[in-house]
Chains A and B, each alone.
Chain A
Amino acid sequence: MASTISINIVFSGGLELLFGNERNHSVSIPNFVPSDNSTCSTPSSSSSSTPPSDNVVSSTGAGDTKAADLEYLIYHLRDHLLKERPELFMENGTIRPGILVLINDTDWELEGEGSYQLCDNDEILFISTLHGG
């Protein structure tokens, strides 16, 4: 089993403006991630392929991990990809209301929203329906 999974990200509806005006992104995230969604130990640009050991090690030392889910991905995008105005992307620990999320072309509300477990090569689309900000 690979230690990281690759996720394709698309931003549209104006949301791409918060991400360097780039619609398409690809990010790598570990199979297992900190339960508290802290992303500091996993910069996506790093090519480090050290697999997470069975004795869980994380930079926080907190120890709890979970299988990578969409909630974690949202934090990851905010911490590593977002260029400006994070409050237009996230609110209260989730996606800001008014931004639609599709997982492989299906409404994320049918897929468990943030608790959806990511798979290798998933495509996650974020569409803003908000105006201005």
Chain B
Amino acid sequence: MAPTSCSLCRDAKAILKRPKTGQQICKDCFFFVFETEVHHTITEAELFKSGDRVAIGASGGKGKTTAVIWPDMLIVLMADSTVLAYVMKTLNDRYNYGLELFLLSIDEGITGYRDDSLETVKRNQQQYDMPLKILSYDELYGWTMDAIVEQIGKKNNCTFCGVFRRQALDRGANSLNVDHIVTGHNADDIAETVLMNIMRGDIARLGRCTLICTQGEDTIKRSKPFKYAYEKEIVMYAYFKKLDYFSTECIYSPDAYRGHARTFLKDLEAARPSAIIDIIHSGEAFEVKEEIKAAQKAQQTCKRCGYMSSNDLCKACTLLEGLERGMASSVITDRARKKMDAMGPTPENLRTIPLFRSTPTITVEMPSQS
């Protein structure tokens, strides 16, 4: 087959067929259109303002961590987050966003997740262009994922990892005193979440899952600059930019339901590549009734750790108490919480998960040991 020439510059050899448009483009044009589209996503949504401190977080809930070798540094992130870090840095320099960028990585404490890479990161930190913060489950919660799985088995561990990772990112962002966390969630991830929320009938979440930027009570914004970027292009970008990475599957059972949704989505995409963007647009077009939005519980703060929560205790504190009391199977429902309360009073000296709020506005009297 004769090499196809690029449909944009009509000069160089095409190396990629874009899933979004079907265009056949060369390497340089691919880099340029990919970066420019992310730039447009950022500027159209007005995600940042000059002077913002932005943490680039490992995207959660994928059951996969990636060790990444950059030209002169080694960091442990997911592939998507690596490309996000690289593109954020490129765009920040090219368009003078004026952002201060940080890398935020979570160490779940799963043996085989490349502890040696983490060591290299710590040793080489001085060389980094971006400050790197690694926060471990062990440090935050006193439990590694290995220890959690040892206690509860492999059945519900994705619930723990999901709650713990999300909160770890928020707490890590607090400790870096950032205004914003960006994650590598891409168009495929968002389409998959739309499908899952429809399959579960979770209309309130359906209304929120396509938002490019959300802001909790804690005032830290979370956003997804890759909202319209296809996973195929992100992986190809990493490959052609030689952001060489190697992956390890999470050795604990993945979220089977999410797996089915992903397989279904990939089959749809194979038949019609625009399916991914079409599903996102459908999700955006749903009008969620006000009473459904209102039915969401009012947010308060966790009585034990101060993290935002819709109950007295936040999900992480509830899960942690279940673990400490050996009742971890009673995960996070209100009913399970009542059952745990009925088993007796909360033991004393339960861990307070650090919040790392760097500018406390009120002084709280610590409960005395007596």
Q: Which residue numbers of A lie inside 8 Å of B, CB to CB?
A: 12-14, 17, 23, 96-98, 100, 102, 105-107, 109-112, 116, 125, 127-133
Contacts and interface: CB of A to CB of B under 8 A. Distances in A.
A109 B270 CA distance: 11
A127 B234 CA distance: 12
A14 to B, nearest CB: 4
Interface in B1-24: 1, 3-4, 13-17, 24
A107 to B, nearest CB: 5
Contacts of A102: 239
Contacts of A131: 62-64, 249, 254, 258-259, 262
Q: Lowest 5 CB-CB distances: which A-B pairs, in order?
A: A132-B254, A97-B266, A98-B266, A97-B270, A109-B17
B235 interface: yes
28 contacts: A12-B247, A14-B247, A14-B249, A23-B246, A97-B263, A97-B269, A98-B263, A98-B266, A100-B235, A102-B239, A105-B240, A106-B13, A107-B236, A109-B17, A110-B4, A110-B24, A112-B1, A127-B235, A129-B188, A131-B254, A131-B259, A131-B262, A132-B62, A132-B63, A132-B64, A132-B249, A132-B253, A133-B249
Nearest to A106: B15
Contacts of A96: 266
A128 B79 CA distance: 11
B235 A129 contact: yes
Interface in B24-51: 24
Contacts of A106: 3, 13-16
Nearest to A108: B17
A17 B249 contact: yes
B232 A129 contact: yes
Contacts of A17: 249
Contacts of B240: 105
Contact of A107 (B15, B63, B269): B15
Interface of B: 1, 3-4, 13-17, 24, 62-64, 79, 188, 231-232, 235-236, 239-240, 246-250, 253-255, 258-259, 262-263, 266-267, 269-270
Contacts of B239: 102, 125, 127
A129 B4 CA distance: 25
A116 B239 CA distance: 22
A2 to B, nearest CB: 22
A131 B78 CA distance: 11
Contacts of B247: 12-14, 128
B79 A13 contact: yes
Contacts of A97: 263, 266-267, 269-270
Contact of A14 (B24, B188, B248, B255): B248
Contacts of B235: 13, 100, 127, 129
B314 to A, nearest CB: 26
A90 to B, nearest CB: 13
Contacts of A129: 188, 231-232, 235
Given A14-B248, A131-B262, A132-B63, A111 B1 contact: yes
A120 to B, nearest CB: 17
Given A14-B64, A97-B266, A133 B259 contact: yes
A110 B232 contact: no
A110 B14 contact: yes
Given A106-B14, A125-B239, A130-B262, 19 more contacts: A12-B247, A13-B79, A13-B235, A97-B263, A97-B270, A100-B235, A107-B16, A110-B15, A110-B17, A110-B24, A111-B1, A116-B1, A127-B239, A130-B263, A130-B266, A131-B64, A131-B254, A132-B253, A132-B255
A128 B249 CA distance: 11
Contacts of A116: 1
A102 B235 CA distance: 12
A101 B249 CA distance: 20
Contacts of A127: 235, 239
Contacts of B15: 105-107, 110
